[in-house]
Amino acid sequence: MTPQPSSGGGSRRLLRQLRDLMQSGGQRQDRLDALVRLIADAMVAEVCSLYVMRAGEVLELFATRGLRREAVHRTRLRLGEGIVGEVASSGRPLALQDAQQHPNFAYRPETGEEVYHSMLGVPLLRDRQVIGVIAVQNKTRRAYDEEEVEALETVAMVLAEMIGGAGLIGEEEGRHTESLATLPARLSAITLNEGIGMGVAVPHERGIVIKQIVAENIEAEILRLDAALAEMQGALADMIERHDLDDEGEHVEVLETYRMFAEDRGWIERLREAIRGGLTAEAAVQRVQTDMRQRMNKVRDPYIRERYADLEDLGNRLLQHLSGGDMASAEALPQDAVLVARTLGPAELLDYDPQRLRAVALEEGSPTSHVAIIARALGIPMIGRCSELLSRVRPGDYMIVDGDAGQAMLRPRQSVRQSFLHTMEQRANRLAAQAAVRSLPSETRDGERITLLANAGLLADLEQLDDCGAEGIGLYRTEVPFMVRDSFPDIRTQSAIYSRILDMAGDRPVTFRTLDIGGDKALPYWSGGKDENPALGWRAIRIGLDRPAILRQQLRALVAAAGERHLRVKFPMVSEVSEFTQARDLLHMELERHLKGGGTAPSRLEIGVMLEVPALLWQLPALFPLVDFVSIGSNDLFQFLFAIDRGNPRLARRYDVLSPSLLSLLRSLAEQAGEHRVPLSLCGEMAGHPLEALALLGCGIKILSMPPGNLGGIRLMVRSLELAPLREYITYLSRLPNRSVRGHLRAYAGDHGIAI
């Protein structure tokens, strides 16, 4: 019982027959009936039914071969109801050996389907929307194999285009989204790049209309594909070269990787295979893209998902070349454009004129996605994971992308626009004020010097070092370059990265933190096994000590990169003094080895520890004499202190870092570090927020490390402040029974003219 469409010839024949049927005249219902008959025969199925989405999200049986005729236009299923409803709501195929055993099975007596056991349903997708479902059924409990599923998917794709285009269903049918709202709306999202941008929504996918789906001449289509591929590869190389981007930084690597994808053999072969199955080159690209999208839905690994996003970008680009048009995005972009897309590839973003692009909003995307790296390099505000974005935004809608707060405002009222304009103006003023004091010392009004450092992970962060006026890098997260690569960088690659960082920092000190992987920081190519509780699991120094080869390689690379320069290294997630001493001994071993091999010693070596695990707080007298410095990782320390997952949005507002308990702890820590003359810094998020940083200074912490973009605001705050009275006030606040002292502190800042 092998269905014919799985063979190339059978598939081609069926596609041609379907096309001929569509082009023939005659009654609409007759043609639909003939269509399901053709498919049933080709799939060797006893039943083939076509359901079409009608207004109100109801799937109506439009034609059937095998079920009772009286059920046509009578049987209706809501979205999510029954197997057909499930296929439509998930947008994915479903193959069942015994459909009646499925929890979602919905029996419709009028259809007479009780005698059929196996079922395969596939969604009809048009413009990314489910417009219906095609289902085949068999009496026997048979398993549909992957080839059969793919065959029906190809048929579904052709049907979706043909049915819509040939007027086989009415205008109002085949849509499951109601007419789009015109009311203002706020959509929540996450920040991919900071900043606010507003303008007119421009959907990225202009939906190239594929005029011909079934190939007349397979060989000719393959030649067309090859020509378009060659053209695309050439154009990509030109575009990457043409763009006014710095030639340093991760974006260079991202674009190179992307260019390699364009030459990916597997992808090109899949395209050719689809053409051999009877599709035109354009339809083949679309077919492979649909297939990839479905696979992507099953993938949870963010890294792999990003790679799929890159391939999708390439698919769209290839379609453009096949259709012989210019890049759609380049044409007539409004002056103030806000680009809206489900995902966007790095090169797709480069297609748009950055001068006209105010912001980008994506339905997917993550801060480490390639397109986000490019957006940062171009300075374009960007938000991601904005669900329902595409179904709520219409082309031409006015919208605001708030990359600072991670939200989008759709069709905002005039008052909302005004208030965002005001915020943007304030932001611009603030930036100007910050720029004005950039080269002035970060010194309080009563003459206390405060050291402001930058956190970094990408080379792009280092590029901001001059602009932000940081005195050095307080936290270089070495895992970041590991995270954006395809495989573990070897010692030489690591050493080259660290050396580059030191070069860029010049005579400003850089504190390298050894690999902090595990927890929320996964390396795509290395699995440490599944932890029930990743934040409390096998991560950071625990991995480093259990797999010393990894840590030693990194330390070797650091020593080699430093050469004669100043080297500062700190270890993350240390819970016991002995973990620190073991790690430190490994560093000394590597240094000795380096010297024995004829290497030079660093001019100065400082070894410190991250204070992130509360247990270490009770070992301070033993720890201080052994370390050159201590860095508080307040993100983790706060998470462990309050037993809250730092990534859980439901807990995000429950506790406040400006709590008397954390302030008491930090005060005591600063006091003890002072007694031992050990420099104490803080490099968690709170150091970069003026009000929080104010509290830290009041606790006695005078070295703060933060994202480079936050430094200007903190410098302004420092220069507007008198430290002595603040310290007294913080002592008072740390003894209050309140859950948060945020309000008190804000009032204090207001009363004392402190810029927060």
For the bound state, the minimum distance from the C-beta of residue 688 to ligand PEP, rounded and expressed in Å, comes to 11
In the window 673-702, what residues touch ligand PEP (CB under 6 A)? 683-684
Which secondary-structure segment (H or E) carries 64?
strand 58-65
563 φ, ψ (degrees, to nearest 5):
55, -120
Residues 6+ apart with CB under 8 A from 280: 210, 212, 213, 214, 215, 221
Measured CA distances, 101 to 83, 138, 261, 704 (Å): 11, 15, 43, 61
Q: What's CA 696's distance to the chain center, in Å?
A: 32
Residue among 386, 468, 683, 699 flagged as catalytic: 683
Select from 75, 329, 634, 720 the one that contacts ligand PEP (CB under 6 A).
Answer: 634
Select from 635, 664, 668, 731 the one that contacts ligand PEP (CB under 6 A).
Answer: 635
Instruction: Mark the segment that binds ligand PEP (CB under 6 A) among 405-413, 426-434, 631-639, 747-755.
Output: 631-639
Q: Yes or no: say if 108 and 72 are a contact pair by the CB < 8 Å rule.
A: no
Residues 6+ apart with CB under 8 A from 453: 470, 471, 472, 473, 474, 475, 511, 681, 683, 703, 704, 705, 706
Q: Does 153 sit near ligand PEP (CB under 6 A)? A: no
Instruction: Pick the closer one to ligand PEP by CB: 12 or 477.
Output: 477
For the bound state, the minimum distance from the C-beta of residue 374 to ligand PEP, rounded and expressed in Å, comes to 23
| Tokens standing for residue 183 | 């009311």
For the bound state, the minimum distance from the C-beta of residue 329 to ligand PEP, rounded and expressed in Å, comes to 36
CA torsion 556-561-565-566 (nearest 10°) is -60
Query: How many residues sit in the footprint of ligand PEP (CB under 6 A)?
Result: 10
Instruction: Pick the closer one to Mg ion by CB: 81 or 576.
Output: 576
Per-residue contact string for residues 470-489; x = within reach of ligand PEP by CB under 6 A:
-----x-x------------
For the bound state, the minimum distance from the C-beta of residue 705 to ligand PEP, rounded and expressed in Å, comes to 8
CA torsion 281-282-283-288 (nearest 10°) is 80
Determine the residue type at 497: I
407 φ, ψ (degrees, to nearest 5):
-155, 160
Q: Compute the half-sphere exposure of residue 441: CA atoms within 13 Å on the CB side of its CA.
A: 8
Is 370 designated active site? yes
Site residues, Mg ion (CB under 5 A): 612, 633, 636
For the bound state, the minimum distance from the C-beta of residue 519 to Mg ion, rounded and expressed in Å, comes to 8
Measured CA distances, 8 to 120, 143, 454, 684 (Å): 20, 21, 59, 59
Select from 82, 406, 608, 633 the one that contacts ligand PEP (CB under 6 A).
Answer: 633
Residue among 370, 594, 689, 699 flagged as catalytic: 370
Q: Yes or no: say if 696 and 704 are a contact pair by the CB < 8 Å rule.
A: yes
Instruction: Pick the closer one to ligand PEP by CB: 66 or 519.
Output: 519
Instruction: Pick the closer one to ligand PEP by CB: 562 or 686.
Output: 686
Is 48 designated active site? no
Select from 636, 704, 716, 717 the one that contacts ligand PEP (CB under 6 A).
Answer: 636
Instruction: Mark the segment that binds ligand PEP (CB under 6 A) among 272-280, 296-304, 489-497, 628-636.
Output: 628-636
Measuring CA to CA, which residue among 635, 645, 612 is closest to residue 706?
A: 635
Instruction: Pick the closer one to ligand PEP by CB: 60 or 636.
Output: 636
Per-residue contact string for residues 489-528; x = within reach of ligand PEP by CB under 6 A:
---------------------------x------------
For the bound state, the minimum distance from the C-beta of residue 577 to Mg ion, rounded and expressed in Å, comes to 18
Given phi > 0 = left and psi -120 to 50 = alpha, else beta, which region is 490? beta
For the bound state, the minimum distance from the C-beta of residue 8 to Mg ion, rounded and expressed in Å, comes to 55
Instruction: Mark the segment that binds ligand PEP (CB under 6 A) among 98-106, 274-282, 632-640, 659-667.
Output: 632-640
Contacting positions for ligand PEP (CB under 6 A): 475, 477, 516, 612, 633-636, 683-684
User: What residues are annotated to the active site?
Assistant: 370, 683
